[in-house]
Chains A and B, each alone.
Chain A
């Protein structure tokens, strides 16, 4: 079974530039998540999709971050304009949907450095 695919693995940009990250979840996983992990901290949920609808985006800085999952499969996370404090690893994860416990499968992450 293929895992969660993310690209690019690394990105370096200047502040105020824009960047986009792509994620392809495990086939059949209806729920997709974007987490931000700052060095030395645990992952923080940015947005959670159920198919192509948003379940939770309460911690997404909507003035600069946007995410979409148009066909309920792939997803893109965009940052525009980037700030220094956006330097982090952006982790995509997916899981089956439905009631009960859900175990997340993570991608390897996209490491962003903002200079």
Chain B
């Protein structure tokens, strides 16, 4: 079963603009991670935020986490055509041996 739901399902922006993707989940978590998947490839880890953190930055990426609302957002600033990919949130449920449950993903297209 999918734990997270990303919103929007698809997003199309111009190069240089910012892209924001949202993720909602259902259970208590230890951490939330974001992964990127280029077409026909495996997933690549982008960033991890723990349940006791509210915001984290990595390069052009900014992730926020609101555990009271069970939601997270991923912001990509100054987007590039190379950012075109699917983005997935994944959660590590508290008290579960299962490592990660993935959401349904947001397909981001950055137009040159």
Decide if A and B are genuine partners.
Answer: yes
A56 adjacent to B97 (CB under 8 Å): yes
A residues neighboring B (CB under 8 Å) = 4, 31, 33, 35, 41-45, 48, 55-56, 59, 91, 93, 95, 101-109
Identity of the chain B residue whose Cβ is nearest the Cβ of A55 in the assembled complex? B97
Q: How far is the CA of A104 from the CA of B2 in the complex (A)?
A: 17
Question: Is the Cβ of A42 less than 8 Å from the Cβ of B42?
Answer: no
Inter-chain residue pair count (beta carbon < 8 A): 64
Instruction: Kindly state the separation between the CA atoms of A104 and B34 in the bound complex, as whole angstroms.
Output: 11
Number of interface residues of B (CB under 8 A): 26
Q: Is the CB of A55 within 8 A of B92?
A: no
- The docked-state distance in angstroms from the alpha carbon of A35 to that of B101 is 10
With a CB–CB cut-off of 8 A, which chain B residues contact A103?
33, 45, 48
The closest CB in chain A to the CB of B50 belongs to A101
By a CB distance below 8 angstroms, the chain B residues around A91 are 42-43
B69 within 8 Å of A (CB atoms)? no
- When A91-B43, A103-B45 are in contact, do A42 and B97 touch as well, CB less than 8 Å? no
